[in-house]
Structure 1
Amino acid sequence: MSTDLGENQFDDIIDEDNEELDKETTRFCKLVNDAHQEVYPGCKNFSKLSIIVRLLHIKNLHGWSNVSFNMLLQLLRELLPENSCLPSTFQDCKFIIKDLGFSYEKIHACPNDCILFRKEYENEDTCPKCHSSRYKKMKVNNSRRKVHRKVASSLIPAKVLRYFPLVPRIKKLFMSSKTAKLMTWHDEGRTKDGKLRHPADSLAWKTFDSLHPNFASDPRNVRLGLASDGFNAYKNIGNQHSVWPVVLMTYNLAPWDCMKQPYLMLSLLIPSPSSPKSSIDVYLEPLIDELKESWENGFETYDAYSKQLFQAYVSLLWTVSDFPAYAMLSGWSTSGKLACPICNYHTCSRYLKNSKKMCYMGHRRFLDSKHRWRKYKKCFDGTQELGVAPMPLTGSNILEILGDRKNVFGNNQKRKRQKGDPWSKKSIFFQLPYWETNLHRHNLDVMHIEKNICENLVGTLLNIKGKSKDNLQARLDLVEMGIREEIHPKDIGSNKVFLPPARFTISSKEKEIFCGVLKGVKVPENYGSNISRCVQLEQHDISGLKSLITLMKQILIQKMLKG
C-alpha cells in the first residue's frame, strides 16, 4: 500500500463531490493528500509521508532511541527551509502513520502459549491455566526489598502478540482506483479456457462458488490464503530464536500481482523465542474472529473504481505451509506412522530399524489401475501394487472423527492422547462457517519439498557426508527387506564392509565435472543467486540449495544426468 500512496491514486476520490463517500474514506483521502505535500516548496525527491517512512525505517534498522531520533528531526528542521512540513518529534511521526491506518494492536499472551489476555481474560494478571505471570518478574531492591518505582510504574508483558487488523487494509485496497479495478481480475480479466493458471481456475474455487452463490455473485468479495513459517529474526544460525509471521495473500488479483510484496498482508507476528507448535491456534484467535465477522456481516467500504459504497465480505480459502507448519495449522501430526495427511489413515509406512526412521511407500497407488509399474517388483519394494489411491478426508469426516474434542493449549499442559491417534487438536479454522465444506483446506508449500528432494538427490550423487541417503544403514535395511541383492554390503574381513556401487554412483572424476559445470553456470540477472559461491570443487560439495532450487531442478540436473 505504500506504493499506492506514492502514486496519488486517491485524487479522483476527493476531487469529485461524491455524496456516497463515507466519512472514514473522506478522512483517509484528506490525510493522504496532506501527506503527499512536498517537504518544502520545490522538493521533488521526498513527500511528507515518504520522508517519515524512510526515517522510521532507518530508526528501526539501526535501533535508534526516541531521543536521538528527535534530535535528528530538530537538526533536519534547522537545515531545511523555514516553511518545511517535517514533523518535529517522533510522536508526531507516529500519529501521522497511525492516522493513515498503518498500525497494529498489541495483545499480551501467556508465556507458555496457553491464552491471550483478551476478552474474558483482559484484566487478568496471571494465566488461569498454568498460573504464570502476565508480566516479567520485577527487579527487587535488596536493601529495602521493594520493587523499584520505575519498574513498578511500567509493567513489562512476558509475551506480546502483534495483530494487524484485516478490514482497514482491505478497505484501503478499494480506496485506490487502480487496485480496486484489479480486485475483480479473477472474474473479469481471467481467460476462462479450462487451463489452470490461477486459483480461480481450480476445482476448489469453483466448488466454493457453487456452495456460496451469494458470496460469488459480487467479484469484489475478497478471497484470501494464509501462510505461516518460522524464521530467525536475528540471522544467527546458532541462535534458535524463532518468530512466526502469519501472512495473507489476496487471490482476487492476477497471478503476477497476488504474490507481490505490496499485496502480501502481514496479519500476525507471533512472538519468540520458540515455535508455538499446536498452540498457534491461541494466536490465531483475533484473526479468526475478524474473518468470521467479515463473512457473516461484512463491512461497508468505498470502491474508488466504480465510485460507490458496497458491502464487502471476506473468505479464507486455504492455508499454505511447509510440512511441520502443516501439522500446527491442521492438527494432523506429520510424523510417525500416519504422517501423510493425504493418505491419512491409509498411509503405507515402515520403520527402518538400521536407519532408525520411518519410510513411506505405496506411491504406486496413485497411478492408473492398468499402469505397468504397478506390477513391477524388482524396481520397487519387491511387491506388486494392487491397491487404490486413498481418498482425502473431507471437513465433515474430520468433524465426525474429532467430535466434541476439547483442545488443551500451552507448552506445559498435559494432553490426553490415545496411542496411534494422529490428531493433536481440533483446528481453530473450523470455527469459520464455511471451512467444513472447503475442498482444499491446507496446502503444502512445494518449494520446501522441491528443495529437500533436490538436496537429497545432489547429496546422494556426490556422496556428501551427512547428506547422502546411500550409506551402510540404508544398505542393511535393503538386506532386511530382501531387495536389491546386488548392492547388499559384503564383509571383506578385518571388520571392514564393502558397499558395492549402485547404478547412480559416480566416480571422483565425474563428481569434479558435475561441480565444475555448476560452478561455471551463467544465468540472467535476478534469475537466482550466484551458484559459483555455493560450489566447492575440491570437496565436491554444494551448499545453499534453497536459493538455487529452480536452476538445479528444472535445468541443470536433468540435462547433466541425461548427458
Structure 2
Amino acid sequence: MLDKSWMHIQNRLSPEYKEGVSKFLDFAFGMTSGDTIPCPCKKCNNVLFKQRNEVEADLVVNGVVTGYTRWLLHGEEIETIESSDCDSDGESVHDILEAHFGAHNVERWETRDLGASDSEEPNEGATKFFKLLKDGNEQLYPGCSRFSKLSFVIKLFHIKCLSHMTNKGFSMILDLLSKAFPEGNVLPKSYYEAKRIIQDLGLDYKKIDACKNDCMLYWKENSSAKQCNICGLSRWKVCGNGKSKNVPHKILRYFPITPRLQRLFMSTKTASEMTWHYNRIDDGFLSHPSDAKAWKHFDASHQSFAIEPRNVRLGLASDGFNPFGKFSNAYSIWPVVLIPYNLPPWLCMKQEYFMLSLLIPGPCGPGNNIDIYLQPLIDELKELWEVGVETYDAYKKQNFVMHAAILWTINDFPAYGNLSGWVNKGKLACPLCNKDTHSTSLKYGGKLCYLGHRRFLPIKHRWRFENKLFDRTRENRLAPKQLSGDDVLAQLHGIQFPSFGKTIKNRKFNNFTCIDGWKKKSIFFTLPYWRTLLLRHNLDVMHIEKNVCDNILGTLMNIEGKTKDTIKTRLDLKEMHIREELHPRQEGDKIIIPAACYTMTPNEKKIFCEFLAELFQLRVIFCDKLYYH
C-alpha cells in the first residue's frame, strides 16, 4: 500500500510533506515512460502535463487537489484497469475519471497511457485552416506560377467589393474565366463555390445597427427593435418622400478577435514566439511589457491564467481620425485596435499583428458613449477569460484551451477620459490625483493651472522648501494615493448615472458636469479581472512627445503662436508674486517684457537649427546603412 498520509499535512514546508511528494514523484514517473505527468496540484487539477521539478514546486506551493486519494492518473491499480477496466466496487475507472475531470481530458490521459506521442490531431477549426493553406499552394492551372487558387479568388473578391458587383455578375465572370483558362484549372464556377473557399478564413465581420444618438445597439435581445428604447428615434433613415427604407442611421463594424487569436498559433514560427515572454531573464531593463510591475502583478493575482504561457495578453488602443480629410469634410470614425503582447517587442508592434476589433461610425466621435459600442468586444473578452476556446498549437502539435485578457488601454488624454469614465477637464482633470487634484485658475491666462507636482518628490527634497521658485508656498503634503480597482468601485458605488446617448436631455451632463469626478462606470469593470489590474489606462507616448516637444521648442525659440511665454503669462507671474525678473514693466506708453534666460538669441537659433539639420542627416545615413545591411 502506498503511503498517502503526507497529503493531509497542513504545513507544506515540513520535511514529512516534502518526503511524501518525493515518494509520489518517484512512483508516478516510474509508471510512465515520458518525462511529464499530469500535475495534481490545486491549480493544475491534473489537466496540465509538467516535468518533475515543476510538479514538485506546484505541490509545495499549491497543495494536492482535494479528493484525489486514488492515483489513477499516475499508474495506481494499472493492472486492474488493463485486465477488467473496473475497480473493486464494480464501478468503471473510465467513468470515475470522466465524472471528475471531463471526457476530453480523460481521452488525452488514456492516449498518453497507451504510449502515444505528445502530438495531437488538429481540431476542426485548425483542419479547415490547413485546407486553406493547401489551396494557397495549389496552382490555378498547370504551369501557373503567378497565382494560386486561393490568392486569385481573394483578388477577384476584392475587385467585386470595390466595384459593387452583383453576385450574379460575379458568377458569370467566373464561368467565363474557367472556360478561358487552360484545361485542368481549379477556378470555382460560381460565386457560392468561391465563397465556400474563403469563408474558412474566419476573418469576416458583423454589422450591428446603432441608434443615431449613440443610445443603444440593435443587438441581442434588441436586434429586431424598430426604434431606440432610450430616445425613441427610428432605427431607419427617412427618404425625401417621407417613406422609411430599411437603411440604418449607423452601422457598427465588429471584427471578432477569437479566430484571429487562433490563427496566431497556426504558424509554427508565430506559435513558438507566442511564449517568448515566458521564463525570460530579468536584466533590470524594461524592454517588454512582461518586465513591468503591472504584468507581474497580474500573473501573481491570476495564477491559473499565468500558468499557461500561451494565454494571450492584450493591449487596447483607440482614437478618432478623419478618413475624408482630403475633401475637407468634418467626420470622425473611431477604430478600436488590440495588440498581442505575447510576442517579442520587435514583432508585437508590427502592423501585421495589430487586430482591428471595432470600427465605430461617425460623423461625430462617440465620446462618453463609447461603452455602447464596446459591448460586443467586452462580451467576447469575458467568454475568452471564463471559458476560453480550443486552439491548435502548430509548434507543439497540441490542442489547448486558450484564454485571453486585456492588461490595459493606451490612448491620448481625451480618449483616456472616455474609456476610464473620469472627467479629464476642469478642476479634477488628473485621473491619478483623482479628488486630490490641485488646480488654480489663472486670472489673465484664463486657464486652469495644475500645481502641487512637488508632492511627488521625496519628503526631504530641497525643492519642497523652495517657495520663491514656485508659488511662494512650501510643500508638506504627501503624494496622492494610487487608486486600486476596488477603490474606484467604492467611489462609484451607489451613483446613478444618466443613460447613454446624445439626446438634448443628456447632452449637458455628458459634456459639462460629473458626479464626484466621474462621468460613468466604465464598461471594462464588467470584466472579472479588471478591478485587480495595477495599471488600467495609459497615455500614449506619441502625443506626449509631440506636444511637449512643440511647446518646449516654441518657447525656447520664441516662435509666434507656438510659445507659451506670452504677455498674459507674464501678467499671471506678477499676480502670483513670483519670478520678479520676468514681470512686465510700464515705461511711458510702452510695456516692456524682459527677455527670459531660456529664450534663444537669433544667433543661438541659427546654431540650434544647423545642429538639428546635421543630426537629421546623420540619422538618414544611419538608416540607409542599416537597411542595406
The residue aligned with 2:582 is 487
Alignment partner of 1:435 out of 530, 539, 552:
530
In the TM superposition, residue 353 of structure 1 has moved relative to its aligned partner by 2.1
1:177 corresponds to 2:177 = no
1:231 corresponds to 2:330 = no
Cα 1:34–1:478 change in 2 (3 A) is: same
2: CA distance, partners of 1:102 / 1:379: 59
SS in 1 for 2:379: helix
Contact 1:402 1:426 in 2 (8 A): yes
1:65 corresponds to 2:159 = no
Measured against aligned partners, the alpha-carbon deviations of 1:350-409 in whole angstroms (never above 9, x if no partner) come to 111211111112222212222222222333233222222111211111111111434421
Measured against aligned partners, the alpha-carbon deviations of 1:497-520 in whole angstroms (never above 9, x if no partner) come to 221111111223333343344345
1:334 corresponds to 2:424 = yes
The residue aligned with 1:533 is none
In the TM superposition, residue 528 of structure 1 has moved relative to its aligned partner by 8.9
1: CA distance, partners of 2:582 / 2:327: 38
Alignment partner of 1:186 out of 257, 260, 277:
277
What does 1:97-176 correspond to in 2, within 5 Å?
97-140=198-241, 147=243, 152=245, 155-176=246-267
Greater displacement, 30-39 / 218-227: 30-39
The residue aligned with 1:281 is 371
What does 1:66-85 correspond to in 2, within 5 Å?
66=165, 70=170, 81-85=182-186
SS in 2 for 1:289: helix
Contact 1:161 1:268 in 2 (8 A): yes
The residue aligned with 1:551 is none
1: CA distance, partners of 2:623 / 2:552: 20
Measured against aligned partners, the alpha-carbon deviations of 1:274-297 in whole angstroms (never above 9, x if no partner) come to 110110000000011111111111
The residue aligned with 2:394 is 304
1: CA distance, partners of 2:193 / 2:603: 66
2: CA distance, partners of 1:320 / 1:28: 32
In the TM superposition, residue 65 of structure 1 has moved relative to its aligned partner by 3.3
Contact 1:97 1:103 in 2 (8 A): no
The residue aligned with 1:13 is none
In the TM superposition, residue 523 of structure 1 has moved relative to its aligned partner by 4.0
1:40 corresponds to 2:135 = no
1: CA distance, partners of 2:550 / 2:191: 48
The residue aligned with 1:518 is 612
The residue type equivalent to 1:460 in the other structure is T
SS in 1 for 2:260: helix
Cα 1:235–1:82 change in 2 (3 A) is: farther
The residue type equivalent to 2:208 in the other structure is I
1: CA distance, partners of 2:217 / 2:535: 29
The residue aligned with 1:362 is 452
In the TM superposition, residue 101 of structure 1 has moved relative to its aligned partner by 0.9
The residue aligned with 1:376 is 466
Cα 1:207–1:341 change in 2 (3 A) is: same
2: CA distance, partners of 1:420 / 1:503: 44
1:30 corresponds to 2:124 = no
Cα 1:371–1:255 change in 2 (3 A) is: same
What is the TM-score with the length of structure 1 in the denominator? 0.82
In the TM superposition, residue 28 of structure 1 has moved relative to its aligned partner by 2.1
Contact 1:232 1:243 in 2 (8 A): yes
Cα 1:498–1:186 change in 2 (3 A) is: same
1:210 corresponds to 2:322 = no
What does 1:392-407 correspond to in 2, within 5 Å?
392-407=482-497
1:294 corresponds to 2:384 = yes
1:196 corresponds to 2:276 = no
Paired residue total: 500
SS in 1 for 2:520: coil
The structure whose Rg is larger is 2
The residue aligned with 2:31 is none
The residue aligned with 2:80 is none
Measured against aligned partners, the alpha-carbon deviations of 1:208-266 in whole angstroms (never above 9, x if no partner) come to 11111111111111111111111111233843311111111111111111111121111
Higher RCO, Cα 8 Å, sep 6+: 1
SS in 1 for 2:236: coil
Measured against aligned partners, the alpha-carbon deviations of 1:96-144 in whole angstroms (never above 9, x if no partner) come to 433311100110001111000011211101101011121111242xxxx
Identity, in percent, stands at 52
The residue aligned with 1:559 is none
2: CA distance, partners of 1:266 / 1:75: 36
In the TM superposition, residue 89 of structure 1 has moved relative to its aligned partner by 6.8
SS in 2 for 1:236: helix
The residue type equivalent to 1:341 in the other structure is P
In the TM superposition, residue 31 of structure 1 has moved relative to its aligned partner by 2.3
2: CA distance, partners of 1:320 / 1:480: 38
The residue type equivalent to 1:431 in the other structure is T
Contact 1:66 1:90 in 2 (8 A): no
What is the TM-score with the length of structure 2 in the denominator? 0.74
2: CA distance, partners of 1:399 / 1:184: 34
Cα 1:458–1:56 change in 2 (3 A) is: farther
What do you get for the CA RMSD once the two structures are aligned? Answer: 2.9
1: CA distance, partners of 2:563 / 2:124: 63
Alignment partner of 1:472 out of 552, 557, 567:
567
The residue aligned with 1:508 is 602
2: CA distance, partners of 1:466 / 1:90: 59
2: CA distance, partners of 1:442 / 1:186: 21
The residue aligned with 2:501 is 410
Gaps of 5+ in 1: 1-15, 530-563
Contact 2:120 2:397 in 1 (8 A): no
In the TM superposition, residue 18 of structure 1 has moved relative to its aligned partner by 7.2
Cα 1:191–1:27 change in 2 (3 A) is: same
